[in-house]
């Protein structure tokens, strides 16, 4: 594939670079000699990517099927023979895309079937609405239809509407029943009641040859609501899949060493406590484990927030998320992947989640206020008409008309349509909501707490200052061979180039090699044979020359300062809460324009700080990515995590944003606030609508035609109002 | 109005056919990858077996 540009040929997506390696062979499934693998591909965005990736994979020996789903980014590969699965992911990576094997047995399949069920229910309700309308409309508009024909047409409607309602309404009936069993009221209760009573009264009217039947209203109500439900389910599944895709590129498999020394690749979830694992340089530890042998440096920034790598020695306990940098390590797993965090963080996570489940959504509050009122109104109507001398069936008919016309439709669609429009907008910008009430909670925040390392900063050290010219090029010849973050920073600053001869990596010390016939060393001050100046530094010592220092710092994201200023303009106060050292945090805070900061925070003190803020009446938005932020993320009023965050933190947060730009934070808050505004407008509209419609229905003036028109109009208005979110202008539309 | 007796079963039948066609297309996976399907018509490659 030489001569082909890396990544998307249309330039629609940035070239993806793999941060660390993963062995996909743990995820291969075999069926009668045919092996298959599911791969998450990142960066594929057009037809060019599709054919480029598929044809490259099909060209591998033995590959029979290679099909990439452009909508989900998932690729299915089937092959026979001894092709190494690693070659498939490597082939895709070489083309400039991110590739990682993923687990086939994800709960995603259950979501897919639920979505299909909703789609079929929606189509059935839609077809039924169409058919019932065809027979209803002549009755509305031609007064000269004979009673016999009218009854015949009503029976025809019943024939369509009753099975369609029974099939399509199941979702609502089930949800209403389960709410009633728990002694609660939700929106599905008045919906189910209206639909069932409409069908019942229509059947009764049809049987006695009456004038009005509400078959059309019941199927139409279900159709409109199912449109909302279907889009909601689809978006939720897509967001879930996209967030999973981000995760798939992060999680590593593990290499297990059997008792007889046999090496096999296993899924991180299959690692049992006591297993001996081999962690190669560049691999991320998937479980908590104790080092048995080997000496290396590990990057703990995901775990503690500290940028500087620390030494790993035998007997040390490493937490999941640590990346091994220089030399292979043998470790013994201490906990399964699902429990790989300290007990304290686990406890705090649980407490945070319990707190969140007590949040009451606007829609629930509206339902609880609205449902009793409607039912009281219907009951009053029934009693009043009886008192005024109407017959029992007449009074019942008018009371049920009230139930139908108060239109749970507008109220039931008011919040979900906004939710769908907002989540869709966020999805387009690469932000994925993980819970239904996340938007409302994010909209309510008034204080933002940032983690430093990896969130506010790039999370990777950058070379600062100007060492003597030529020094960078020389240092890079050694640095290119190492995965140490400082070495990577030098290699990045120098760009591509040659590598020194006879390179040896000395764990915890540095790299040595031969440049132009002279021995050279790049590493700690002691390794280079000089007295260090302290701080983040490397020394380059070339035989015969004076050693040259290189200094590093974890640079702030370029957009950090703007984002902080932007958040201030939105009326939010900003705070920095980091586990890193005080000097570095102070520097980052000053650069980003944040006055309030705390350094050297432990996971527990982070969570404690958030609890204190909450106690003083603040509603806090936590933004963080490390394991040390997980408890704070779970305990905050609302939380965001970048796509590169550790699993625990991603799961603990309300919204995951992909891409590396902090601008997403302000954008998410903007959209959440706009969404809350649209919801309030919709509920206000629904309330006004009911103020007009209820008296009309109570007076007995509403006919099936009025009901149908009112229902469609009010649904259309709330939907269109919600869709304003899709076209709303963002302050920074660049991303 | 005898014509209704023919028209209504005919309408039901047509709607039934439409529903069956939809369910078939759903089962056949035609909605699984809308973005990919749109892109694939532009490639010259033969469809995969």
> Nearest residue on chain A to B36, judged by CA atoms?
A70
Write out the E strands in A490-586: 501-506, 510-515, 518-523, 537-542, 548-556, 573-577
Alpha-carbon distance values, A519 to A475, A481, A483, A516 (Å): 12, 15, 21, 8
Which residue among B19, B23, B33 sits closest to A70, beta carbon to beta carbon? B33
Q: Please, are residues A312 and A302 in contact by the beta-carbon 8 Å criterion?
A: no
pLDDT at A296 over 70: yes
H/E stretch holding A69 reads strand A63-69
Q: Are A71 and B32 in contact (CB < 8 Å)? A: yes
The CA distance from A644 to A660, in Å, is 9
Average pLDDT over residues A632-648: 82
- The pLDDT of B16-41, averaged and rounded, is 87
Q: Please list every residue in chain B whose beta carbon sits closer than 8 Å to the beta carbon of residue A153.
A: 4
CA distance readout (Å), A211 to A20, A203, A396, A699: 72, 12, 15, 17
Q: State whether A71 and B22 contact (CB < 8 Å).
A: no
* Tokens representing residue A432 in the block: 């994925």
* A225 neighbors A231 (Cβ within 8 angstroms): no
Complex ipTM more than 0.90, yes or no: no
Residues of B in contact with A152 (CB under 8 A): 1, 4
Would the CB atoms of B36 and A70 count as touching at under 8 Å?
yes
Beta-strand runs (E) in A334-416: none
Which chain B residue has its CA at the smallest distance from A74's CA? B33
Contact B43 A130 (CB under 8 A): no
Chain A contacts of B32, Cβ < 8 Å?
69, 71
Q: Please choose, from the candidates A702, A106, A660, the residue with its C-alpha nearest in 3D space to the C-alpha of residue A378.
A: A702
What residues of A are in contact with residue B12 (Cβ under 8 Å)? 131, 159-160
For B20, the token pair is 């069956």
Which residues does chain A have within 8 Å of residue B38's beta carbon, measured at their own beta carbons?
Answer: 47
pLDDT in the model for residue B24: 92
Between chains, do A152 and B22 touch, taking CB under 8 Å as contact? no
What's the mean pLDDT in A640-661? 79
pLDDT given for residue A105 in this prediction: 52
Give the β-pairing of A620-623 and A447-450.
parallel
What is chain A's length? 735
Q: A467: which 2 tokens?
A: 């060492």
pLDDT above 70: residue A466: no
Most B CBs within 10 Å: which of A144, A156, A223, as the mutation test of the B interface?
A156
For the ranges A157-171, A212-226, A267-281, the one whose mean pLDDT is highest:
A157-171
| Chain A neighbors of B4, CB-CB under 8 A | 149, 152-153, 156
Verify whether the Cβ–Cβ distance A67 to B48 is below 8 Å: yes
Q: Which residues partner with A67 through β-bridges? A: A76
Identical fold for domains A254-285+287-339 and A460-556, yes or no, is: no
Report CB contact under 8 Å: B33, A119.
Answer: no
Judging by beta carbons within 10 Å of its beta carbon (0-12, 13-18, 19+), is residue A459 exposed, middle or buried? buried
Chain A CB contacts of B31 under 8 Å are: 119
Are A725 and A667 in contact, with CB atoms under 8 Å apart? no
Q: In sequence order, what are the residues at sequence separation of 6 or more whose Cβ sits closer than 8 angstroms to the Cβ of residue A139?
A: A145, A150, A153
Q: What is the pLDDT of residue A252?
A: 58
CA pair distance A35, A60, nearest whole angstrom? 14
- How many helices (H) and strands (E) would you count in chain B? 2, 0
B10: closest chain A residue by CA: A131
Q: Which residue has the tokens 């002279």?
A: A518
How much is the pLDDT for A168? 93
Q: What are phi and psi of A327, to 5 degrees?
A: -135, 155
* Contact state of A50 with B11 under an 8 Å Cβ cutoff: no
Alpha helices for A388-452 (secondary structure H): 392-405, 408-428, 438-443
Q: Is the pLDDT of residue B35 over 70?
A: yes
Q: How far is B10 from chain A (nearest CA, A)?
A: 11
Q: Across the interface, which of A65, A69, A159 has its CB nearest the CB of B36?
A: A69
- What is the distance between the alpha carbons of residues A566 and A577, in angstroms, rounded to a whole number? 19
- A249-263, A297-311, A336-350, A616-630: segment of lowest average pLDDT: A336-350
Decide if pLDDT at A492 tops 60.
yes
Mean pLDDT of A89-118: 76
Alpha carbon of A58: minimum distance to chain B alpha carbons (Å):
10
- Of the residues A50, A64, A134, A164, the best mutation for testing chain B's interface (the one with the most B CB atoms within 10 Å of its CB) is A50
Q: Do A153 and B4 touch (CB under 8 A)?
A: yes
- When pLDDT is cut at 50, 70 and 90, the band that residue A733 belongs to is very low
Phi–psi pair at A642, nearest 5 degrees: -70, 160
**What fold, for A254-285+287-339?**
2.70.150
Residue of A nearest to B23 (CA): A120
Q: In this complex, do B36 and A51 lie within 8 Å of one another by their Cβ atoms? A: no
Q: Beta-carbon neighbour count of residue A664 at 10 Å?
A: 25
d(CA A208, CA A212) in angstroms, rounded, equals: 11
Identify which of A47, A66, A67 has the shortest CB distance to residue B43. A47
Point out the residues of A that are catalytic.
451
Task: Give this prediction's pTM.
Answer: 0.76
Q: Which fold has domain A460-556?
A: Calcium-transporting ATPase, cytoplasmic domain N (3.40.1110)
User: Using the beta-carbon criterion (under 8 Å), do A71 and B33 form an inter-chain contact?
Assistant: yes
Q: Is the dihedral of CA A698, A701, A705, A710 positive or negative?
A: negative
CA–CA separation, A593 and A587 (whole Å): 10
Listed residue (A276, A279, A271) closest to A260, CA to CA? A276
* Contact across the interface for B33 and A72, Cβ inside 8 Å: yes
How many residue pairs from chains A and B have C-beta atoms closer than 8 A? 60
Per cent of chain A over pLDDT 90 is 8
User: What pLDDT score does A217 carry?
Assistant: 86
Q: Where do the domains of chain A lie? A: 24-105, 254-285+287-339, 430-458+557-672, 460-556
* Residue A13 with chain B: CB contacts under 8 Å: none
**Residue A625's closest CA among A405, A454, A427?**
A454
| A275 φ/ψ sector (left φ>0, alpha ψ -120 to 50, else beta) | beta
Q: Which residues of A touch B (CB under 8 A)?
A: 46-47, 50-51, 54-55, 65-72, 116, 119-120, 123-124, 127, 130-131, 134-135, 146, 149, 152-153, 156, 159-160
| Phi/psi of residue A44, nearest 5 degrees | -75, 125
Write out chain B residues lying below 8 Å of A159, CB-based.
12
Closest chain B C-alpha to A117 CA, distance in angstroms: 10
The pLDDT tens digits for A514-544 are: 888 888 888 888 787 777 666 677 888 888 7
Give A345-397 pLDDT, tens digit per residue. 666 666 666 665 566 677 777 777 877 888 888 899 999 999 998 888 888 88
From edge to edge, which strands make up the β-sheet containing A254-257?
A263-266, A254-257, A276-279, A329-333, A289-293, A317-318
pLDDT surpasses 80 at A646: no
Q: How far apart are CA B20 and CA B32, in angstroms?
A: 18
Yes or no, beta carbons of A68 and B12 under 8 Å apart: no
Subunit contact B1:A65, Cβ cutoff 8 A:
no
Residues of A in contact with B26 (CB under 8 A): 116, 119-120
Contact (CB<8Å) B40/A160: no
**What does the mean pLDDT of chain A come to?**
81
Tell me the two tokens of residue A22: 């993963």
Q: In the beta sheet, which residues pair with residue A30?
A: A35
Class of domain A24-105: alpha beta
**Sheet of A457-464: strands edge to edge?**
A457-464, A548-556, A537-542, A518-523, A510-515, A501-506
Q: Tens of pLDDT along A34-77? A: 888 888 887 787 888 888 888 889 888 888 888 888 877 888 89
Q: Which residues of A touch B43 (CB under 8 A)?
A: 47, 50-51
Task: State how far the Cα of A378 lies from the Cα of A380, in Å rounded to an integer.
Answer: 5
d(CA A711, CA A716): 8
Q: What is the band of A165 on the pLDDT scale with cuts at 50, 70, 90?
A: very high
CATH for A430-458+557-672 (1.10.3720.10, 3.40.50.1000, 3.40.50.1820, 3.40.50.300): 3.40.50.1000
Pick among A51, A111, A157 to test the B interface (most B CBs inside 10 A): A51
List the single residue in A with minimal CA-CA distance to B35.
A71
The answer to whether A6 and A95 have CB atoms below 8 angstroms apart is: yes
Cross-chain CB nearest to B48 (options A65, A116, A120): A65
- Is residue A644 helix, strand or coil? coil
Q: What is the pLDDT of residues A178-202, one digit of tens each?
A: 888 988 777 788 888 888 988 998 9
Is a pLDDT exceeding 80 seen at residue A231?
Answer: yes
Question: Quick check: A117 pLDDT over 80?
Answer: yes
What is the average per-residue pLDDT within A615-619? 89
Mean pLDDT of A718-725: 89
């Amino acid at each position: 594939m030489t001569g082909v540009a890396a990544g998307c040929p249309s330039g629609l997506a940035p070239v993806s670079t793999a941060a660390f390696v993963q062995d996909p062979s743990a995820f291969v499934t075999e069926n009668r000699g045919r092996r298959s693998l599911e791969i998450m591909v990142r960066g594929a965005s057009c037809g060019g990517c599709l054919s480029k990736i598929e044809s490259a994979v099909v060209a591998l020996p033995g590959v029979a099927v290679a099909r990439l789903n452009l909508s989900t980014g998932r690729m299915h590969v089937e092959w026979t023979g001894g092709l190494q699965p690693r070659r498939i992911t490597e082939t895709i990576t070489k083309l400039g895309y991110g590739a990682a094997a993923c687990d086939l047995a994800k709960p995603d399949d259950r979501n897919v079937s639920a979505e299909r069920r909703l789609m079929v229910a929606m189509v059935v309700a839609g077809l039924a609405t169409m058919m019932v309308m065809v027979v209803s409309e002549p009755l509305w508009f031609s007064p000269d239809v004979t009673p016999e024909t009218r009854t015949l047409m009503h029976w025809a409607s019943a024939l369509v509407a009753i099975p369609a309602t029974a099939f399509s309404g199941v979702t609502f009936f089930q949800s209403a029943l389960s709410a009633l069993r728990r002694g609660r009221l939700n929106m599905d209760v008045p919906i189910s009641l209206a639909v069932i009573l409409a069908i019942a009264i229509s059947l009764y009217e049809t049987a006695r040859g009456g004038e009005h039947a509400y078959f059309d209203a019941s199927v139409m109500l279900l159709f409109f609501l199912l449109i909302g439900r279907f889009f909601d389910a689809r978006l939720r599944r897509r967001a879930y899949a996209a967030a999973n895709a981000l995760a798939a590129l992060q999680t590593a498999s593990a290499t297990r060493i059997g008792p007889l020394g046999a090496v096999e690749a296993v899924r991180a979830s299959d690692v049992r406590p006591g297993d001996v694992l081999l962690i190669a340089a560049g691999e991320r530890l998937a479980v908590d484990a104790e080092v048995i042998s080997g000496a290396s440096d590990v990057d703990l920034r995901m775990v503690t927030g500290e940028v500087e790598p620390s030494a790993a020695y035998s007997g040390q306990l490493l937490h999941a998320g640590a990346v091994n940098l220089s030399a292979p390590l043998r470790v013994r797993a201490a906990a399964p992947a699902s429990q790989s965090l300290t007990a304290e963080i686990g406890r705090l996570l649980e407490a945070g989640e319990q707190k969140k489940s007590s949040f009451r959504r606007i829609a629930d509050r509206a339902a609880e206020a609205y449902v009793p009122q409607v039912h009281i109104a219907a009951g009053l109507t029934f009693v009043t008409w009886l008192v005024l001398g109407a017959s029992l069936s007449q009074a019942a008919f008018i009371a049920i008309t009230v139930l139908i016309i108060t239109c749970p439709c507008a109220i039931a669609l008011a919040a979900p349509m906004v939710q769908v429009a907002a989540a869709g907008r966020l999805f387009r910008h690469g932000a994925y909501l993980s819970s239904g009430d996340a938007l409302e909670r994010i909209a309510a925040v008034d204080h933002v707490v940032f983690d430093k390392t990896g969130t506010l900063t790039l999370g990777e050290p950058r070379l600062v200052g100007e060492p003597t010219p030529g020094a960078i090029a020389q240092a890079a010849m050694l640095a290119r061979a190492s995965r140490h973050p400082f070495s990577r920073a030098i290699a990045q600053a120098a760009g591509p180039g040659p590598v020194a001869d006879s390179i040896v990596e000395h764990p915890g010390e540095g790299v040595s090699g031969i440049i132009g016939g002279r021995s050279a060393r790049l590493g700690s001050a002691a390794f280079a044979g000089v007295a260090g100046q302290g701080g983040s530094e490397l020394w380059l010592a070339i035989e015969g020359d004076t050693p040259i220092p290189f200094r590093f710092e974890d640079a702030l994201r370029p957009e950090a300062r703007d984002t902080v200023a932007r958040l201030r303009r939105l009326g939010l106060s900003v705070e920095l809460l980091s586990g890193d050292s005080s000097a570095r945090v102070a520097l980052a805070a000053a650069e980003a324009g944040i006055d309030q900061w705390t350094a050297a925070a432990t996971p527990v003190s982070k969570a404690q700080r958030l609890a204190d803020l909450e106690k003083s009446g603040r509603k806090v938005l936590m933004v963080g990515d490390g394991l040390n932020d997980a408890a704070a993320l779970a305990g905050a009023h609302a939380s965001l995590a970048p796509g590169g965050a550790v699993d625990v933190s991603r799961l603990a947060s309300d919204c995951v944003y992909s891409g590396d730009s902090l601008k997403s934070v302000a954008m998410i808050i903007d959209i959440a606030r706009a969404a809350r505004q649209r919801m309030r407008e919709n509920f206000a509209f629904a309330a006004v609508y009911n103020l007009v419609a209820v008296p009309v229905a109570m007076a007995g003036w509403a006919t099936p035609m009025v009901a149908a028109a009112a229902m469609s109009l009010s649904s259309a208005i709330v939907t269109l109002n919600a869709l304003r979110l899709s076209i709303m202008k963002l302050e920074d539309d660049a991303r | 109005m005898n014509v209704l007796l023919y028209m209504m079963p005919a309408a039901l039948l047509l709607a039934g056919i439409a529903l069956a066609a939809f369910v078939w297309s759903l089962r056949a996976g035609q909605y699984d990858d809308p973005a990919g399907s749109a892109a694939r018509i532009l490639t010259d490659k033969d469809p995969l077996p």
